């Protein structure tokens, strides 16, 4: 299909992009375009103005800032996956970025576009949630920092207002006692995840004493498996904790899987993710 007609502007800076967004109620940012353009072709999205921010090189970076790593929102997935800094200090982000879509998507898609799109089937949101990351959102009045736990509001809905843009993601540097894993199941290699589980664990004397577990495609937003996390904190085994991974979730039913199968799959992948994270 062909999208509805729209106007097009190239932003010269983040501030210019925000000013353009403020001029029109029905304006959208365009970065890699792998989420927005297909929706426009299907007439699911009909912005009257596209503001192209894909040329803003100053928002494409990965750099250390104390105990955190700052990732510019326009950093391509391939650059996130290949970042030596992330591979050393927060490898769950680089490894997950390397699983996004196919090479074409990873060479054009951006981490900020993926997160701001708010698709609960995307890979990186669940990882960012499990890491308790912070996201920096810029508007006409300056920057504000939003915790990952407060960022995702619903299907294709986030804390970014229509006249704001996501400019940076801040993830923690993981310590030597921290293990991690991202387990994903999809029908084909380039498909959205049917279900995926991100696990970040703390170990004491070889045993998992704390876990943060993010779930992909198990509800209207990426979710934390809070019941399983509480079980781990209370001394439960991986087997017992993983049986609680789907508790409190509302997984969708679609052509890829039923709600019941997704719940079962989350428990299976949750156990595998906790086992792998505990062994790393």
Q: 171-181, pLDDT tens digit by residue?
A: 999 999 999 99
What distance in Å separates the CA atoms of residue 21 and residue 105, rounded to the nearest whole number? 25
- In the prediction, which pLDDT does 187 show? 84
Q: 149-201, pLDDT tens digit by residue?
A: 999 999 999 999 999 999 999 999 999 999 999 999 998 777 889 999 999 99
Mean pLDDT per 10-residue section of the chain, whose length is 280 residues: 87 96 90 81 86 95 98 98 98 97 90 94 97 98 97 96 97 97 88 94 94 98 98 97 98 95 98 96
pTM (predicted TM-score)? 0.94
* CB distance 279 to 202 below 8 Å: no
* CB distance 73 to 181 below 8 Å: no
Q: Of 61, 107, 98, 252, which Cα lies nearest the Cα of 184?
A: 98
* CB distance 168 to 62 below 8 Å: no
What distance in Å separates the CA atoms of residue 132 and residue 135, rounded to the nearest whole number? 10
May I ask the CATH architecture of the domain 178-279? 2-Layer Sandwich (3.30)
Q: Where are the domains of the chain?
A: 7-52, 57-172, 178-279
Options 3.90.550.10, 3.40.50.1100, 3.30.465.10, 3.20.20.140; CATH for 57-172 is 3.30.465.10
What phi, psi does 113 have (nearest 5°)? -65, -40
C-beta neighbour count of 91 within 10 angstroms: 15
CATH number for region 7-52: 3.30.43.10
Q: If you ran DSSP here, which 8-state letter would residue 59 be given? A: G
DSSP, collapsed to helix, strand or coil, labels residue 46 as coil
């Amino acid at each position: 299909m062909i999208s509805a007609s729209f106007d097009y502007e190239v932003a010269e800076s983040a501030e210019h992009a925000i000013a353009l967004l403020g001029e029109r109620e029905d304006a959208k940012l365009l970065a890699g375009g792998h989420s927005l353009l297909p929706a426009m072709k299907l007439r699911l999205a009909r912005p009257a103005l596209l503001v192209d921010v894909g040329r803003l090189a100053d928002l494409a970076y990965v750099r250390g800032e104390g105990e955190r790593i700052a990732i510019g929102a326009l950093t391509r997935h391939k650059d996130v996956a290949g970042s030596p800094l992330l591979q050393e200090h927060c490898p769950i982000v680089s490894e997950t970025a390397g699983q996004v879509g196919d090479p074409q998507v990873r060479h054009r898609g951006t981490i900020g576009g993926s997160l701001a799109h708010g698709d609960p089937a995307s890979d990186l949101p669940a990882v960012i949630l499990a890491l308790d990351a912070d996201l920096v959102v810029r508007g006409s009045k300056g920057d504000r920092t939003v915790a990952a736990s407060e960022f995702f509001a619903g299907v294709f809905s986030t804390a970014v207002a229509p006249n704001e843009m996501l400019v940076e993601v801040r993830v923690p540097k993981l310590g030597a006692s921290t293990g991690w894993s991202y387990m994903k199941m999809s029908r084909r290699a380039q498909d959205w995840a049917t279900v995926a589980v991100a696990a970040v664990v703390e170990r004491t004397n070889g045993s998992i004493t704390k876990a943060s577990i993010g779930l992909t495609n198990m509800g209207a937003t990426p979710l934390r498996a809070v019941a399983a996390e509480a079980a781990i904190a209370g001394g439960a085994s991986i087997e017992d904790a993983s049986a609680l991974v789907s508790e409190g979730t509302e997984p969708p039913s679609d052509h890829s899987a039923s709600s019941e199968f997704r719940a079962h799959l989350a428990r299976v992948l949750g156990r595998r993710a906790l086992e792998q994270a505990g062994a790393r």
